[in-house]
Structure 1
Amino acid sequence: MIFYLQHRSQLSGNSPKQVFETFPFLSSYWEELQHRFPEIEQTEQFLNILRTECDRWEESCQEWLPLRAVRQQASLGAEAVACLVLAGLTEQDARFGELFSVLQQPLVQRRPTLGLLQQLMQMEQGPSDAWNLCLPLLDQGLLVATNRDTPRAEWAVRVPSAVWSALRGEYAKEPIPGTKYHPSGDFAPIRELILAPEQRAQLSELVLLLSSNRTRAVVVRGLAGSPRIEILGSISREMGRGLFEVDGPLLADEERRRLIGPIAILINCIPALSFELGTGESVDIPPLGGYAGPIGLSLGSEGGLAGPLMDRSVTVHLQPETPEQRLRYWQRELKDHSAEDLHPIAKGFTLSGGHIRKAARVAATHAALDGRLKINSTDVRQATRNLGQRLEFLAARLEDGGDWAHLVVPASTERALHDLQTRCRHREQLATLLSRQLPGGLNRGVRALFEGPSGTGKTLAARILASELGLDLYRVDLAALMNKYIGETEKNLSRVLSRAEDLDVILLLDEGDSLMSRRTDVKTANDRYANLETNYLLQRLETYVGIVLVTTNIGGAIDSAFRRRIDAIVRFHLPQAEERWRLWQLHLPPRHAVQPDELETIALRYEMTGAQIRNASVQAALSAMQGSRGAIKVADLRNAIQSEYRKAGAAVPVEEIRSAECQEHRLSGFLSVIS
């Protein structure tokens, strides 16, 4: 640049020193060059020796040099590199913007144009075509043309800020929005990963395949909380590189997508693209400008990947962690905050490794708030509840329902619920014991169907089951997930099921008959798509590894294929007189004024569900409060019962059996009226 300005000054009849009077800031650059190369006076000699010295220094330098890396991997010549550096001068020193503006008059442009670069490159050994030099830089995202609607010679080019920072050797934590930079030291060696020995051996072999370029891509599939990124990071570490984590949706932004490859080269990282795809969704993996090294891909069990890169890919499937592996995660993360015995926590909370890392920190904070050094199960449950915020956009968390003493159901229903609790509590051990022996295997998922009339305690039973197991319960209205647009219902189901099994919560699918009803003969397009939604839910529940409870008021409408795949069916019935009496005892406040014989009569006469009894108790208490009586009396209770019957559109039974004399008197009165 200085030689070019001095040459122009001489052509206009001025002294070369005029350059430093016009642009004083260049003096410091010139003095530094003269200090390093005092014997150089002629332009051509200086440029040749400068290039030779730079090449010699690069060869001897053992440190990572971003400019050397991009030149080698992108196959750039010295002149193309010179164009790249000249275009980035404004990023380095804003005063170069003023200089470019003067040189390019009458154009108003503070960045160099291709025309100016053409003139600058003529100072090299021979004439060079700036367009051919800059074309690969533009294609690979190292340069950006800001005004492509103008003649090509007037195109102003710039180096994206993120690229220039990487060229300077700056390692930002977030080089561009939607990305993260992880140095190799952030990850453990493969031998220290909490995986099965055979899977660690597989990863070690994979490193050799990637290093020899026999494989280009590694696809790691698993739950969202599984150590997918950690595994890709360990592979990067073994190859002497960092990891450049990229949020998959960023690929849709062409401007930012073009920066992935150049930045990955400059910061010596393997790019890792993360996706959370739903059923039927697919992503085409495009080339990453100029980057020809290995690529990591992280995604769940659903969705597909396409593109030429997939022809040279290897997929690693991560199975849910075993209790022993979870114990190691807890021990590693908690250190001094470990509980007295972590085994119950590792066994009771089937969290993935990534979620354990987050939950451990939050659980330790909860323990500290209570003045304790050691965590307990309550701390862990509070921590997992924070993780569940990702699910609350799709489902509603229900509060605990107490214990089984709060549920009044027939003995057969009670036995079925206790059997279900046992199955849920030992689901992991059962899968380990039988998975290899049973045809088709057995996962740790539990699928249960609660069927029975409305108000008979299905939701309460689900809340109590969650409380007994120490897990959170989230309710999803299946009807609300249904969407009129093709494929959207399946995507909604995919999101809620994937997040629920990943976060180790119990999922309650309310009104299951809306999607699980018998499939129909295809007569219209609507029938075809409704059957597709049912088929998807049928297949997804079969592979579900969490606990899912489905409720329905119309058990007979459930498709038989669903029933075959359900692990437990719990039938709820309308309460009989004895059960209704227990329900009244449970819901009425302790100091009510209803006599035992009156309560027995009410339980015998009024056939109500548990929900109706609860509502009537609340209404009776409110009536007593309004009448300033305090205690509930039988009249309050009868009025509340009549209100519940009217709400249901049913006739209220006769209140009492009157004496024969009273009946005869009423009959005589009636006959006298009509005679």
Structure 2
Amino acid sequence: MEPYPDNRAHLTDELRRIDSLLYHYLETWRAESAANGDVPGLYVSDAEVEQILTGDRTATQSTTDTRDRHADWRETIDDRVTATAATDTTLRLQTLAERFGLSDRHIDALLLAVAPDLDLEYEKVFAYLQDDLTRKRPTVDLVARILGSTDRGPLDERYRLSESSPLVSTGLVRPRLPETGAPLLAASVTADRRVVAYLLGRDDVDPAIADCTEAIEADTTIRDLPLDDEVRRKVEGAEPATDQTQTMVTLSGPDGVGKRAAVAAMAAGLDRPLVQSDASRLLRSDCVDPITRVCREASLRNAVVHLTNVHRLDGENGQDGGIESVVTALASYPDHVFLSGTEDWQAPRSVDSHAVTRLRLPRPGYERRKELWDRRIADGTIDLDADDLDTADLAATFSLTRGRINEAIEQARRQSAGGLTSEGIYKACRAQSRETLGDLAVRSEPTYTWDDIVLPADELRQLHAVAAHLSHRGTVYSDWGFEDRFNLGTGLNVLFSGPSGTGKTMASEILANEAGLDLFKIDLASVVSKYIGETEKHLKRIFDEAEHSDALLFFDEADALFGERSEVSDSHDRYANVEVSYLLQRMEEHDGAVIMTTNLEENIDDAFQRRINRTVEFPRPDQASRYAIWQAIFPENTPVGELDYEFLSSFDLTGGNVENVALTAAFLAADDGGAEGEGRVEMKHVVRALRRELQKTGRLISADEFGEYAGLLP
């Protein structure tokens, strides 16, 4: 028997077989109608239908002849399909039957649904058989009668299009009820457009999900992935075997860590393509049964399924139903399934159809990050010399994943019209590592430098030591092996103590500026809540999001969080102590930097004190320090007259007080200069501003204390 040359030739023969099946039903139906006195075909003529099904207006065949004709077609097609199996030609209808577990009767029902999409003449046939020009698609009742007209009755064939049928449950066909509450038999049967396109040889992704789904032919192996040896072994251990029962692999880890690449490598190890879809966008789409469509797309391609961003399905901004409903829907997919997101999660206990494997990919360590940066220079992605870009400092400062490093390079390239620069790459890295921390923190742009702060020599050395800790974390922890000595985090917890206005906030900005990091000021008014459990929830949000950001966390006036734990007298005390204990745990595990300030160090809980890596005391400035502060307080562009810094520094003020005086004096001077604002800051302006600041702080002073400048007071 001659094999089929292509898929269309096979479909043509199958439709001719369906024609014989339809003609057999037509003869049976006519006979029954005549016996009942009915007059069928009021809208479409008998001759027109016969010509469509036989190509001959004068055709007259007995019911027995049409049954034989169908059997002959069946035998011919089976023989040609067998012959085609020995060739390179793939018959998609056969492939569809194999991958979706369809019987011959299921195929017949599918072809009846597909026929009008292949030839509009079939709409006339179905309108004729249903005696209604508006019903151009077969109903479940008509399909059951056509299939039951040969060997079995229609009641035996009805289940072919029930919800449990592989035709319906996998979305190959969609019975559509004319109205809510109508019986299944009244539903019209339509083949999904993606299925029709597949049978005609098209391989485009289902247009209903194409905006968030892609088909991938993976060729990267696990050995090719840029992973640490330990992480690579974990990925290899999670890879399903080709002969293994279907597995559900869940991957978690920060964005850009390589979850998609790991799944693609595992698919390549199975020698299978991959259908990958963004779960959050998929469920926001307007299409019907989005998970079913993804699974159907994978089955059509003999692929495995990968849903990304599953962490967005739960939580405050999650989708209805969440992860559990998605996993339940995927449980019916008889093949390997991969789900990935930034957060770790536990598959529902109800999933017993798949063996569940959990895998977390950590953020790359310092050595791996440095290697990734060095590779970008070696392969020419970064057209800078190694001497022009300190990859060790980049790796130590920014804990970026491989994906985020690539994005930072591209961002720097877009923003550098004259070519990549070291400064541009640092700026892009800072942008990539930036997180908002929601409404619980405010990002501050560090502007102060070492030239702006005035501290005694010993305290200044301590502050430089903190900066060195931030700058050389990679060298000490990774290159010198100290990371292996710490079971928990390798972060830096710093306490700045001292009166208000002595430079604690300024010092925090200097450290952030020196390290090239963002500074997030935690809004304690938003964090601390009177409601039980709310403070802990807010702290969790802060530290969870800070894990994905290379930033300094700045807790100003932290006594509200870090104060002495109280005796338990009621439930609020008990939960307050739980919150403190939780904060202690997160501080130990946090790999970033946390800076806390307090006006009263003795109020800080002892347990916190033990977890402080470095403490810097900010004393009230002595007269020499105040003199230096006064000399540097006015910006370079401010017109300043002859100021008596010796006299001004005699007043016991902090740097913050001096800054307030300078600002007030500048406005007074600008007002004295007229509309053009061309005045200068003179002693009269500073003296008036100084008196206001002293009054604001609660000090009652007389004009005599201003000595020779008393006459300048209003």
Coarse TM-score class (shorter-chain normalised) = 0.7 to 0.9
Residue of structure 2 equivalent to 1:262: 296
Matches within 5 A, 1:291-440: 291-300=333-342, 302-309=344-351, 312-330=355-373, 331-332=375-376, 335-341=380-386, 342-344=389-391, 345-367=394-416, 369=417, 371-372=418-419, 374-382=420-428, 384-385=430-431, 388=434, 395-432=441-478, 433-435=480-482, 438=485
SS in 2 for 1:200: helix
SS in 2 for 1:297: strand
Asked whether 1:618 is paired with 2:663, we answer yes
| 1:273-302 residue CA offsets vs partner (Å, 9 max, x unmatched) | 433389999953325164122222324465
Residue of structure 1 equivalent to 2:699: 651
Structure 2 Cα separation of the partners of residues 609 and 155 of structure 1: 82
SS in 2 for 1:464: helix
8 Å contact kept, 1:87–1:158: yes
1:195 deviates by 1.2
Pick the aligned partner of 2:159 from 113, 127, 131: 131
1:190 deviates by 1.4
Residue of structure 2 equivalent to 1:219: 250
Residue of structure 2 equivalent to 1:184: 217
Structure 1 Cα separation of the partners of residues 196 and 569 of structure 2: 61
1:328 deviates by 4.3
Asked whether 1:244 is paired with 2:244, we answer no
Matches within 5 A, 1:443-482: 443-481=489-527
Structure 1 Cα separation of the partners of residues 119 and 555 of structure 2: 61
SS in 2 for 1:461: helix
Say which is worse superposed, 471-480 or 154-163, in terms of deviation.
154-163
Structure 1's 23 and 521: CA in aligned 2 closer, same or farther, altered over 3 A? farther
Q: Which runs of 5+ in 1 are unaligned?
A: 31-39, 663-675
| 1:150-196 residue CA offsets vs partner (Å, 9 max, x unmatched) | 212123455556666667653439862784324134x6221211112
Structure 2 Cα separation of the partners of residues 565 and 63 of structure 1: 70
Residue of structure 1 equivalent to 2:10: none
Residue of structure 2 equivalent to 1:115: 141
| TM-score normalised over the length of structure 2 | 0.76
Asked whether 1:574 is paired with 2:620, we answer yes
Residue of structure 2 equivalent to 1:670: none
Structure 2 Cα separation of the partners of residues 58 and 512 of structure 1: 78
| 1:354-394 residue CA offsets vs partner (Å, 9 max, x unmatched) | 21121121122223x1x22x442433423541563665776
Residue of structure 1 equivalent to 2:586: 540
Amino acid at match of 2:224: E
Amino acid at match of 1:188: T
Structure 2 Cα separation of the partners of residues 29 and 645 of structure 1: 107
Amino acid at match of 1:288: L
1:8 deviates by 6.0
Amino acid at match of 2:333: Y
Matches within 5 A, 1:44-83: 44-45=70-71, 47-49=73-75, 52=78, 55-56=81-82, 59-60=85-86, 71-83=97-109
8 Å contact kept, 2:435–2:548: no
1:235 deviates by 0.8
Say which is worse superposed, 467-476 or 229-238, in terms of deviation.
467-476
1:270 deviates by 2.9
Pick the aligned partner of 1:196 from 228, 232, 253: 228
Q: Which runs of 5+ in 2 are unaligned?
A: 1-17, 35-39, 57-65
8 Å contact kept, 2:206–2:293: no
Asked whether 1:234 is paired with 2:265, we answer yes
1:588 deviates by 1.9
Structure 2 Cα separation of the partners of residues 471 and 91 of structure 1: 60
Structure 1's 275 and 454: CA in aligned 2 closer, same or farther, altered over 3 A? farther
8 Å contact kept, 1:273–1:298: yes
8 Å contact kept, 2:263–2:306: no
Structure 2 Cα separation of the partners of residues 226 and 118 of structure 1: 53
Amino acid at match of 1:498: D
SS in 1 for 2:434: helix
Asked whether 1:154 is paired with 2:186, we answer yes
1:213 deviates by 1.5
SS in 1 for 2:289: helix
| 1:103-154 residue CA offsets vs partner (Å, 9 max, x unmatched) | 5566966654322321342366544423245423334454555446221212
Pick the aligned partner of 1:170 from 198, 203, 216: 203
SS in 2 for 1:276: helix
Asked whether 1:636 is paired with 2:685, we answer yes
1:618 deviates by 1.7
Structure 1 Cα separation of the partners of residues 669 and 464 of structure 2: 38
How many equivalent residue pairs?
Answer: 641
Structure 1's 182 and 537: CA in aligned 2 closer, same or farther, altered over 3 A? farther
Cα RMSD of the aligned pairs, angstroms, is 4.3
Structure 1's 166 and 602: CA in aligned 2 closer, same or farther, altered over 3 A? farther
Amino acid at match of 2:667: L
SS in 1 for 2:548: helix
Amino acid at match of 1:271: H
Residue of structure 1 equivalent to 2:330: 288
Say which is worse superposed, 335-344 or 347-356, in terms of deviation.
335-344
Matches within 5 A, 1:96-107: 104=130
Structure 1 Cα separation of the partners of residues 94 and 490 of structure 2: 52
SS in 2 for 1:604: coil
Structure 1's 46 and 391: CA in aligned 2 closer, same or farther, altered over 3 A? farther
Residue of structure 1 equivalent to 2:6: none
Residue of structure 2 equivalent to 1:671: none
Amino acid at match of 1:172: V
Structure 1's 658 and 294: CA in aligned 2 closer, same or farther, altered over 3 A? closer
8 Å contact kept, 1:166–1:263: no
